[in-house]
Amino acid sequence: MISLQDCRSRDGADTLAPLRHLFNLPEGMIYLDGNSLGALPSAVPHRVAQVVAEQWGRDLIGSWNTAGWFDLPRRVGDRIAPLIGAGAGEVVATDTTSVNLYKVLSAALNLVEQAEDEAGGARGTRGTRGTRGTRRTIVSERSNFPTDLYIAEALSRERGWNLRLIEPHEVHTSLGPEVGVLMLSHVNYRSGAMHDMAGITAAAHAAGVLVVWDLCHSAGAVPVELTQADADFAVGCGYKYLNGGPGAPAFAWVHPRHVARCWQPLAGWWSHARPFAFTPGYEPAMDITRYQCGTQPIISLSALDCALDVFTEADKLGGMPALRTKSLALTDLFIELVEAHCPGQFELVTPREHAQRGSQVCLTPTHSLPAGCAYAIVQALIARGIVGDFRAGDAQQPDILRFGFTPLYLSYENVAMAAQGLQEVLANEEYAQPRFNRKQAVT
């Protein structure tokens, strides 16, 4: 059995260990919730103060040019691009994941409808809804992050499409001739299960289906190769593994083969070919700029820009491949320790196979523990400074304890201490204490 001393030795040999010093982490806290909100990079407070006092306060409107505010969504996009296997000029950091999903999913629907119009010889005018094509179904997973489903439901209703929800194992068999778009999260927010992006994309394309990937739990956490996988569209989050701060702008990527071929309906002035010509008529930009809409929150976007410096440092130490190796070592270790110290008390929800695992570990209590104790276990851990989170179950899925492992700032010792804390919470039956059973709004 691996000891605390062994873990400390592994930390001593961890070439990524210096990255931890690029973050301001609260003293004594083991933060296993970076998959919900990434920790604060140490350089961000100064950058934000500078943006506020100098760019806004001193230079005012001139900063649109001198501080490059106007290009910031594309500059930040260019910094995210290598983390997701995309090229320069292909990513824009803007708006929220939900809004970006609405844009790219709309664009995907437009592409499908256009292709059918062209194939049918009936050159349809964009926006006419007269002819019904054969591919009018969006497929997604029932366990996808709900906002993705809500956006798809709204668009389906709006556009006369159907939304079909499936289970993870049904992805390949779901790709029938009525399906136009497959919309999946690469890594599931609850289970931490990761899809084979390249394999699924290839199967979808073979079936004539476009694929939209949600990278919220992937970007900065696991290697992503959008170009190599030949994906069509992707969106993702700036405030989880990219550490951009609460509600940091999200991002959108569109494969260059599609970007000028279809429009997206949130056609605000920032998506215009010449926004400062102030023409009354719309002319879409021919690149990823088309997926912008309105003026972006520069302070929050600057925090994200600064946070990405951490990945520049990580690149010098091996980049995403090295981070992935460490992430798997951390999650392997946590699984091993929990199974050793809490035998039979939890079932592993996250896949054991590396190829199917994101950067988190989810556990559900077995019947050896009192029913409904998952919430209180998480609260008892938080009281010990071990911060994970709880996700309530329903008819289809169990309650879970969710632990995110960010290799940028977590050590092997952290993992050992977290597993030990979990063991003690169970041994002391801390989950039975009333103070840990008072539910409050879950975030």
Active-site amino acid positions = 145, 214, 239-240, 402
Residue with smaller CB distance to a copy of itself, 12 or 294: 294
Site for a copy of itself in 129-188 (CB under 8 A): 129, 142-147, 149-151, 153-155, 157-160, 165
What's the DSSP call for residue 247? T
Question: Does position 372 bind a copy of itself by CB under 8 A?
Answer: no
User: Residue 355 Cβ, how far from a copy of itself at the closest point, in Å?
Assistant: 26
Tokens 């809409």 — which residue?
293
Question: Does position 442 bind a copy of itself by CB under 8 A?
Answer: yes
Taking residue 54's Cβ as centre, other Cβ atoms within 10 Å add up to: 12
Taking residue 321's Cβ as centre, other Cβ atoms within 10 Å add up to: 9
| Residues 77-93: b if buried by 16+ CB within 10 A, e if exposed | bbbbbbbbbbeeebbbb
User: Residue 241 Cβ, how far from a copy of itself at the closest point, in Å?
Assistant: 14
Rounded Cα distance, 210 and 295, in Å: 30
Residue with smaller CB distance to a copy of itself, 166 or 207: 166
Residue with smaller CB distance to a copy of itself, 41 or 85: 41
Residue with smaller CB distance to a copy of itself, 263 or 431: 263
Question: Does position 303 bind a copy of itself by CB under 8 A?
Answer: yes
From the list 156, 183, 158, 180, the residue with the least C-alpha distance to 171 is: 183
User: Residue 251 Cβ, how far from a copy of itself at the closest point, in Å?
Assistant: 13
Question: Does position 260 bind a copy of itself by CB under 8 A?
Answer: no
Residue with smaller CB distance to a copy of itself, 367 or 438: 438
188: left (phi over 0), alpha (psi -120 to 50) or beta: beta
Site for a copy of itself in 14-73 (CB under 8 A): 24, 26, 29, 31, 33, 36-37, 39-40, 44-45, 48-49, 52-53, 55-58, 60-61, 63-65, 69-70
Q: What x/- string results for residues 220 through 249 when contact with a copy of itself is judged by CB under 8 A?
A: -------------------x-----xxxxx
User: Residue 305 Cβ, how far from a copy of itself at the closest point, in Å?
Assistant: 12
User: Residue 64 Cβ, how far from a copy of itself at the closest point, in Å?
Assistant: 4
* Number of residues lying near a copy of itself (CB under 8 A): 96
Report the residue from 18, 199, 268, 344 that binds a copy of itself according to the rule CB under 8 A: 268
Question: Does position 403 bind a copy of itself by CB under 8 A?
Answer: no
Residue with smaller CB distance to a copy of itself, 201 or 263: 263
Angle, in degrees to the nearest 10, between helices 146-159 and 97-119 = 40
Report the residue from 121, 280, 321, 343 that binds a copy of itself according to the rule CB under 8 A: 280
Question: Does position 389 bind a copy of itself by CB under 8 A?
Answer: yes
User: Residue 217 Cβ, how far from a copy of itself at the closest point, in Å?
Assistant: 14
Residue with smaller CB distance to a copy of itself, 114 or 423: 114
Q: What is the DSSP string of 264-282?
A: -S---GGGBSSGGG--SS-
From the list 64, 102, 357, 85, the residue with the least C-alpha distance to 212 is: 102
Report the residue from 174, 185, 188, 296 that binds a copy of itself according to the rule CB under 8 A: 296
From the list 290, 297, 174, the residue with the least C-alpha distance to 247 is: 297
Taking residue 66's Cβ as centre, other Cβ atoms within 10 Å add up to: 10
From the list 35, 147, 40, the residue with the least C-alpha distance to 97 is: 147
User: Residue 330 Cβ, how far from a copy of itself at the closest point, in Å?
Assistant: 19
Query: Residue 408: CB partners within 8 Å, gap ≥ 6?
Result: 16, 19, 20, 22, 23, 34, 243, 310, 314, 323
What does each C-alpha distance from 25 to 19, 179, 307, 384, 409 come to in angstroms? 12, 46, 14, 15, 9
Q: Strand 40-41 relative to strand 162-166: parallel, antiparallel, unpaired?
A: unpaired
Residue 241, amino acid: Y
Question: Does position 443 bind a copy of itself by CB under 8 A?
Answer: yes
Site for a copy of itself in 100-139 (CB under 8 A): 102, 126-129
